[in-house]
Homo-oligomer: A and B are copies of this chain.
Amino acid sequence: MTWNLAEFASFVGGQLIGDASPVCTGANPPPQAAETDITLLDDPKRADSIVHSKAAAVVVDQEIESLERPQIVVNDPHQAFAKIVTHFRPPIDSVGEDAKPEIASSAAVHPTAVIGRGVTIGHRSLIGPGTVIMPRCKIGDDCVVHANTTLYEYTELSDRVIIHAGSVIGANGFGYRQQQGEHIPTSQLGYVAIESDVEVGAGVTIDRGTYSATRIGAGTKIDNQVQIGHNCQIGRHNLLCSQVGIAGSCTTGDYVVMAGQVGLADHVHCGDRTIIGAQAGVMDDLAGDQVYLGAPCKTQREQMQIFAVERKLPEMRRELKKLRRELEQLKGPSEGSGRRAA
Protein backbone atom coordinates (compact mmCIF):
# COMPACT_ATOMS: atom_id res chain seq x y z
CA MET A 1 0.00 0.00 0.00
CA THR A 2 2.78 2.47 0.86
CA TRP A 3 5.08 3.56 -1.95
CA ASN A 4 7.60 6.32 -2.44
CA LEU A 5 6.85 9.35 -4.56
CA ALA A 6 8.60 7.97 -7.62
CA GLU A 7 6.29 4.99 -7.49
CA PHE A 8 3.19 7.18 -7.08
CA ALA A 9 4.26 9.41 -10.00
CA SER A 10 4.67 6.35 -12.18
CA PHE A 11 1.32 4.95 -10.91
CA VAL A 12 -0.56 8.02 -12.20
CA GLY A 13 1.64 8.56 -15.27
CA GLY A 14 2.87 11.90 -13.95
CA GLN A 15 6.17 13.74 -13.86
CA LEU A 16 7.82 13.99 -10.45
CA ILE A 17 9.50 17.26 -9.54
CA GLY A 18 11.55 17.13 -6.34
CA ASP A 19 12.69 14.43 -3.95
CA ALA A 20 11.52 10.97 -5.05
CA SER A 21 12.31 9.15 -1.81
CA PRO A 22 9.54 10.11 0.67
CA VAL A 23 7.23 7.20 1.37
CA CYS A 24 3.53 8.18 1.43
CA THR A 25 0.88 6.43 3.48
CA GLY A 26 -2.30 8.29 2.60
CA ALA A 27 -4.03 10.90 0.45
CA ASN A 28 -6.06 13.81 1.79
CA PRO A 29 -7.11 17.37 0.86
CA PRO A 30 -4.69 20.08 2.03
CA PRO A 31 -6.27 20.91 5.41
CA GLN A 32 -6.58 17.26 6.48
CA ALA A 33 -3.31 15.95 5.04
CA ALA A 34 -0.77 14.44 7.44
CA GLU A 35 3.01 14.61 6.99
CA THR A 36 3.18 11.40 5.00
CA ASP A 37 0.15 12.16 2.82
CA ILE A 38 -0.14 13.20 -0.79
CA THR A 39 -2.49 16.15 -1.41
CA LEU A 40 -4.14 17.91 -4.35
CA LEU A 41 -3.99 21.39 -5.83
CA ASP A 42 -6.72 21.73 -8.46
CA ASP A 43 -6.38 25.48 -9.01
CA PRO A 44 -2.88 27.04 -9.31
CA LYS A 45 -4.30 30.34 -8.00
CA ARG A 46 -4.89 28.71 -4.63
CA ALA A 47 -1.29 27.60 -4.17
CA ASP A 48 -1.33 29.28 -0.75
CA SER A 49 -3.74 26.57 0.48
CA ILE A 50 -0.70 24.31 0.36
CA VAL A 51 1.46 26.53 2.54
CA HIS A 52 -0.36 25.50 5.72
CA SER A 53 -0.76 21.87 4.68
CA LYS A 54 1.52 19.24 6.18
CA ALA A 55 1.36 17.12 3.02
CA ALA A 56 4.52 15.45 1.77
CA ALA A 57 3.74 16.08 -1.89
CA VAL A 58 1.18 17.73 -4.15
CA VAL A 59 -0.59 16.61 -7.33
CA VAL A 60 -0.77 19.56 -9.76
CA ASP A 61 -1.53 20.21 -13.43
CA GLN A 62 1.51 22.45 -13.95
CA GLU A 63 4.71 23.00 -12.06
CA ILE A 64 4.41 25.70 -9.40
CA GLU A 65 7.85 27.09 -8.69
CA SER A 66 6.97 28.76 -5.41
CA LEU A 67 5.94 25.42 -3.87
CA GLU A 68 8.78 24.12 -1.75
CA ARG A 69 7.50 20.59 -1.89
CA PRO A 70 7.66 17.61 -4.28
CA GLN A 71 5.07 17.87 -7.06
CA ILE A 72 3.51 15.25 -9.30
CA VAL A 73 2.51 16.99 -12.53
CA VAL A 74 -0.36 15.39 -14.46
CA ASN A 75 -2.96 16.44 -17.05
CA ASP A 76 -6.02 15.84 -14.85
CA PRO A 77 -5.16 16.29 -11.14
CA HIS A 78 -8.62 15.14 -9.94
CA GLN A 79 -8.40 11.93 -11.89
CA ALA A 80 -4.85 11.26 -10.71
CA PHE A 81 -5.65 12.09 -7.08
CA ALA A 82 -8.77 9.89 -7.20
CA LYS A 83 -6.56 7.04 -8.44
CA ILE A 84 -4.21 7.53 -5.47
CA VAL A 85 -7.11 7.75 -2.98
CA THR A 86 -8.53 4.55 -4.44
CA HIS A 87 -5.15 2.89 -3.99
CA PHE A 88 -5.46 3.50 -0.24
CA ARG A 89 -9.21 2.78 0.04
CA PRO A 90 -10.09 0.34 -2.72
CA PRO A 91 -13.75 0.21 -3.73
CA ILE A 92 -15.97 -2.31 -2.00
CA ASP A 93 -18.53 -4.43 -3.78
CA SER A 94 -21.76 -2.74 -2.65
CA VAL A 95 -23.44 -6.07 -2.00
CA GLY A 96 -20.92 -6.52 0.78
CA GLU A 97 -19.27 -9.62 2.06
CA ASP A 98 -19.79 -11.11 5.47
CA ALA A 99 -16.67 -12.98 6.33
CA LYS A 100 -14.03 -12.77 9.03
CA PRO A 101 -14.51 -9.47 10.75
CA GLU A 102 -12.64 -8.94 14.03
CA ILE A 103 -15.19 -8.71 16.81
CA ALA A 104 -14.20 -8.35 20.47
CA SER A 105 -15.47 -11.25 22.55
CA SER A 106 -17.33 -8.83 24.85
CA ALA A 107 -19.18 -7.25 21.92
CA ALA A 108 -22.72 -8.40 21.08
CA VAL A 109 -23.81 -8.61 17.47
CA HIS A 110 -27.40 -9.62 16.75
CA PRO A 111 -27.51 -12.67 14.49
CA THR A 112 -29.48 -10.78 11.84
CA ALA A 113 -26.88 -8.01 11.59
CA VAL A 114 -24.60 -8.16 8.55
CA ILE A 115 -20.92 -7.52 9.26
CA GLY A 116 -18.67 -7.08 6.24
CA ARG A 117 -15.17 -8.35 5.61
CA GLY A 118 -12.42 -6.58 7.48
CA VAL A 119 -14.75 -4.86 9.96
CA THR A 120 -13.41 -4.41 13.50
CA ILE A 121 -15.75 -4.05 16.49
CA GLY A 122 -14.37 -3.06 19.90
CA HIS A 123 -15.09 -4.15 23.45
CA ARG A 124 -18.62 -4.20 24.75
CA SER A 125 -20.08 -2.66 21.57
CA LEU A 126 -23.61 -3.67 20.58
CA ILE A 127 -24.84 -4.09 17.01
CA GLY A 128 -28.63 -4.27 16.68
CA PRO A 129 -30.84 -6.51 14.54
CA GLY A 130 -30.90 -5.87 10.82
CA THR A 131 -27.99 -3.45 10.98
CA VAL A 132 -25.56 -3.56 8.07
CA ILE A 133 -21.88 -2.78 8.64
CA MET A 134 -20.21 -2.75 5.24
CA PRO A 135 -16.63 -3.94 4.78
CA ARG A 136 -13.66 -2.28 6.49
CA CYS A 137 -15.66 -0.20 8.98
CA LYS A 138 -13.95 0.36 12.34
CA ILE A 139 -16.12 0.49 15.44
CA GLY A 140 -14.51 1.37 18.77
CA ASP A 141 -15.36 0.33 22.32
CA ASP A 142 -18.73 0.72 24.05
CA CYS A 143 -20.57 1.78 20.90
CA VAL A 144 -24.26 1.04 20.27
CA VAL A 145 -25.48 0.83 16.69
CA HIS A 146 -29.24 0.33 16.86
CA ALA A 147 -31.45 -1.72 14.55
CA ASN A 148 -31.71 -1.34 10.79
CA THR A 149 -28.87 1.16 10.55
CA THR A 150 -26.47 1.11 7.60
CA LEU A 151 -22.78 2.01 7.80
CA TYR A 152 -21.18 2.19 4.37
CA GLU A 153 -17.65 0.89 3.87
CA TYR A 154 -14.73 2.50 5.74
CA THR A 155 -16.97 4.28 8.28
CA GLU A 156 -15.09 4.89 11.54
CA LEU A 157 -16.75 5.19 14.94
CA SER A 158 -14.53 6.04 17.92
CA ASP A 159 -15.54 5.00 21.43
CA ARG A 160 -18.94 5.38 23.08
CA VAL A 161 -20.69 6.40 19.85
CA ILE A 162 -24.45 5.74 19.76
CA ILE A 163 -26.35 5.58 16.48
CA HIS A 164 -30.10 5.19 16.54
CA ALA A 165 -32.18 3.05 14.25
CA GLY A 166 -32.58 3.61 10.56
CA SER A 167 -29.66 6.00 10.12
CA VAL A 168 -27.40 5.84 7.06
CA ILE A 169 -23.75 6.78 7.51
CA GLY A 170 -21.40 7.12 4.55
CA ALA A 171 -23.61 7.14 1.45
CA ASN A 172 -22.33 9.02 -1.59
CA GLY A 173 -22.31 12.80 -1.56
CA PHE A 174 -24.52 14.73 -3.97
CA GLY A 175 -21.91 15.88 -6.46
CA TYR A 176 -22.35 15.98 -10.23
CA ARG A 177 -20.86 17.79 -13.19
CA GLN A 178 -22.83 18.34 -16.37
CA GLN A 179 -21.52 16.78 -19.56
CA GLN A 180 -23.48 16.75 -22.79
CA GLY A 181 -26.70 17.40 -20.92
CA GLU A 182 -26.21 14.64 -18.35
CA HIS A 183 -25.30 14.87 -14.68
CA ILE A 184 -22.16 12.77 -14.23
CA PRO A 185 -21.33 11.81 -10.62
CA THR A 186 -18.04 13.20 -9.34
CA SER A 187 -15.71 11.05 -7.22
CA GLN A 188 -17.12 10.11 -3.83
CA LEU A 189 -14.15 8.18 -2.51
CA GLY A 190 -14.05 9.31 1.11
CA TYR A 191 -15.71 8.06 4.27
CA VAL A 192 -17.29 9.22 7.53
CA ALA A 193 -15.38 9.52 10.82
CA ILE A 194 -17.38 9.95 14.02
CA GLU A 195 -15.39 10.83 17.11
CA SER A 196 -15.95 9.69 20.68
CA ASP A 197 -19.13 10.29 22.68
CA VAL A 198 -21.20 11.34 19.68
CA GLU A 199 -24.89 10.38 19.70
CA VAL A 200 -26.67 10.21 16.34
CA GLY A 201 -30.49 10.09 16.26
CA ALA A 202 -32.83 7.99 14.16
CA GLY A 203 -33.15 8.47 10.43
CA VAL A 204 -30.01 10.62 10.17
CA THR A 205 -27.94 10.70 6.96
CA ILE A 206 -24.27 11.68 6.90
CA ASP A 207 -22.49 11.52 3.53
CA ARG A 208 -18.92 10.40 2.97
CA GLY A 209 -16.28 12.93 1.94
CA THR A 210 -15.16 13.38 -1.64
CA TYR A 211 -11.60 12.16 -1.05
CA SER A 212 -11.33 12.14 2.72
CA ALA A 213 -13.48 12.12 5.86
CA THR A 214 -16.70 13.90 6.65
CA ARG A 215 -16.01 14.32 10.37
CA ILE A 216 -18.24 14.69 13.43
CA GLY A 217 -16.32 16.06 16.43
CA ALA A 218 -16.20 14.45 19.86
CA GLY A 219 -19.19 14.92 22.14
CA THR A 220 -21.50 16.29 19.44
CA LYS A 221 -25.16 15.24 19.64
CA ILE A 222 -27.30 14.91 16.51
CA ASP A 223 -31.09 14.62 16.63
CA ASN A 224 -33.38 12.63 14.31
CA GLN A 225 -33.57 13.23 10.55
CA VAL A 226 -30.56 15.53 10.36
CA GLN A 227 -28.72 15.60 7.01
CA ILE A 228 -24.99 16.34 6.86
CA GLY A 229 -23.42 16.71 3.42
CA HIS A 230 -20.10 15.50 2.12
CA ASN A 231 -16.83 16.92 3.45
CA CYS A 232 -18.44 18.69 6.43
CA GLN A 233 -16.18 19.09 9.45
CA ILE A 234 -18.52 19.41 12.45
CA GLY A 235 -16.80 20.59 15.63
CA ARG A 236 -16.95 19.23 19.16
CA HIS A 237 -19.92 19.34 21.51
CA ASN A 238 -22.32 20.71 18.89
CA LEU A 239 -26.07 20.19 19.31
CA LEU A 240 -27.85 19.70 15.98
CA CYS A 241 -31.60 19.49 16.45
CA SER A 242 -34.08 17.56 14.38
CA GLN A 243 -34.33 18.01 10.61
CA VAL A 244 -31.32 20.32 10.35
CA GLY A 245 -29.81 20.20 6.86
CA ILE A 246 -26.14 21.02 6.36
CA ALA A 247 -24.92 21.19 2.75
CA GLY A 248 -21.48 20.04 1.64
CA SER A 249 -18.13 21.29 2.97
CA CYS A 250 -19.50 23.25 5.92
CA THR A 251 -17.40 23.60 9.06
CA THR A 252 -18.44 24.41 12.61
CA GLY A 253 -16.48 25.31 15.71
CA ASP A 254 -17.16 23.88 19.16
CA TYR A 255 -20.40 24.18 21.14
CA VAL A 256 -22.42 25.29 18.11
CA VAL A 257 -26.20 24.86 18.51
CA MET A 258 -28.64 24.60 15.61
CA ALA A 259 -32.36 24.45 16.40
CA GLY A 260 -34.85 22.41 14.38
CA GLN A 261 -35.04 22.64 10.57
CA VAL A 262 -32.08 25.02 10.22
CA GLY A 263 -30.46 24.93 6.77
CA LEU A 264 -26.86 25.76 5.86
CA ALA A 265 -25.68 26.48 2.32
CA ASP A 266 -22.47 24.77 1.26
CA HIS A 267 -19.02 25.93 2.41
CA VAL A 268 -20.42 27.95 5.33
CA HIS A 269 -18.41 28.24 8.55
CA CYS A 270 -20.04 28.76 11.98
CA GLY A 271 -17.68 29.93 14.73
CA ASP A 272 -17.49 28.54 18.26
CA ARG A 273 -20.68 28.85 20.28
CA THR A 274 -22.81 30.07 17.36
CA ILE A 275 -26.50 29.57 18.14
CA ILE A 276 -28.92 29.39 15.21
CA GLY A 277 -32.68 29.63 15.73
CA ALA A 278 -35.24 27.22 14.31
CA GLN A 279 -35.81 27.25 10.53
CA ALA A 280 -33.05 29.81 9.97
CA GLY A 281 -31.28 29.80 6.61
CA VAL A 282 -27.54 30.38 6.70
CA MET A 283 -25.96 31.58 3.45
CA ASP A 284 -22.70 33.07 4.75
CA ASP A 285 -20.11 32.47 7.46
CA LEU A 286 -21.27 33.29 10.97
CA ALA A 287 -19.06 34.72 13.69
CA GLY A 288 -19.28 32.74 16.91
CA ASP A 289 -20.66 33.73 20.32
CA GLN A 290 -23.86 35.10 18.82
CA VAL A 291 -27.46 34.13 18.21
CA TYR A 292 -28.81 34.20 14.66
CA LEU A 293 -32.41 34.01 13.46
CA GLY A 294 -34.41 34.09 10.25
CA ALA A 295 -33.94 33.25 6.59
CA PRO A 296 -31.67 34.65 5.32
CA CYS A 297 -30.38 34.73 8.89
CA LYS A 298 -29.30 37.85 10.77
CA THR A 299 -28.18 38.53 14.32
CA GLN A 300 -30.96 38.00 16.83
CA ARG A 301 -31.01 41.71 17.65
CA GLU A 302 -31.45 42.78 14.04
CA GLN A 303 -33.92 40.03 13.17
CA MET A 304 -36.13 40.67 16.20
CA GLN A 305 -36.42 44.33 15.22
CA ILE A 306 -37.33 43.34 11.68
CA PHE A 307 -39.90 40.79 12.89
CA ALA A 308 -41.46 43.51 15.07
CA VAL A 309 -41.67 46.03 12.23
CA GLU A 310 -43.04 43.41 9.81
CA ARG A 311 -46.16 43.17 11.91
CA LYS A 312 -46.59 46.94 11.47
CA LEU A 313 -46.28 46.77 7.69
CA PRO A 314 -49.97 47.19 6.84
CA GLU A 315 -50.16 50.14 9.26
CA MET A 316 -46.99 51.65 7.77
CA ARG A 317 -48.43 51.42 4.29
CA ARG A 318 -51.60 53.23 5.38
CA GLU A 319 -49.56 55.93 7.14
CA LEU A 320 -47.44 56.37 4.01
CA LYS A 321 -50.54 56.98 1.89
CA LYS A 322 -51.91 59.38 4.46
CA LEU A 323 -48.67 61.35 4.57
CA ARG A 324 -48.77 61.61 0.79
CA ARG A 325 -52.34 62.95 0.83
CA GLU A 326 -51.61 65.47 3.57
CA LEU A 327 -48.43 66.62 1.88
CA GLU A 328 -50.30 67.17 -1.38
CA GLN A 329 -52.89 69.26 0.50
CA LEU A 330 -50.15 71.32 2.10
CA LYS A 331 -48.53 71.99 -1.24
CA GLY A 332 -51.91 73.16 -2.46
CA PRO A 333 -53.51 73.02 -5.92
CA SER A 334 -51.48 75.97 -7.32
CA GLU A 335 -48.17 74.22 -6.92
CA GLY A 336 -49.18 70.91 -8.53
CA SER A 337 -47.83 67.65 -7.29
CA GLY A 338 -44.98 65.59 -8.58
CA ARG A 339 -47.42 62.88 -9.41
CA ARG A 340 -49.83 64.97 -11.41
CA ALA A 341 -46.91 66.55 -13.18
CA ALA A 342 -45.44 63.17 -14.09
Nearest opposing residue in chain B for A282, CB measure: B278
Query: Chain B contacts of A183 at CB under 8 A?
Result: 219, 221, 237, 239
| A198-215 contact mask (Cβ, 8 Å, vs B): 1 or 0 | 010111010100000000
Query: Chain B contacts of A185 at CB under 8 A?
Result: 199
Nearest opposing residue in chain B for A293, CB measure: B296
Number of copies: 3
Most B-side CB within 10 Å, residue of A201, A302, A322, A330: A201
Nearest opposing residue in chain B for A203, CB measure: B205
Query: Chain B contacts of A338 at CB under 8 A?
Result: 322, 326
The answer, among B128, B174, B260, B316, for a CB contact under 8 Å with A241, is B174
| A221-265 contact mask (Cβ, 8 Å, vs B): 1 or 0 | 101110101000000010101110101000000000000110101
The distance in angstroms between the C-alpha atoms of A323 and B317, with both chains bound, is 13
Query: Chain B contacts of A171 at CB under 8 A?
Result: 146, 164-165, 201-202, 224
Q: Is A119 engaged at the interface, CB distance under 8 Å to the other chain?
A: no
Are A265 and B243 in contact, CB atoms less than 8 angstroms apart? no
Are B96 and A147 in contact, CB atoms less than 8 angstroms apart? yes
Query: Can you sample 11 A-B contacts with CB below 8 Å?
Result: A94-B126, A95-B109, A96-B110, A164-B168, A165-B171, A166-B203, A172-B201, A278-B281, A309-B314, A312-B317, A327-B327
Q: A94-B128, A166-B167 are in contact. List 20 more A-B contacts (CB 8 A).
A: A93-B108, A94-B126, A96-B110, A96-B147, A134-B147, A148-B148, A148-B149, A164-B171, A166-B166, A171-B202, A174-B241, A176-B221, A182-B237, A203-B203, A296-B307, A309-B317, A316-B320, A320-B320, A322-B338, A327-B327
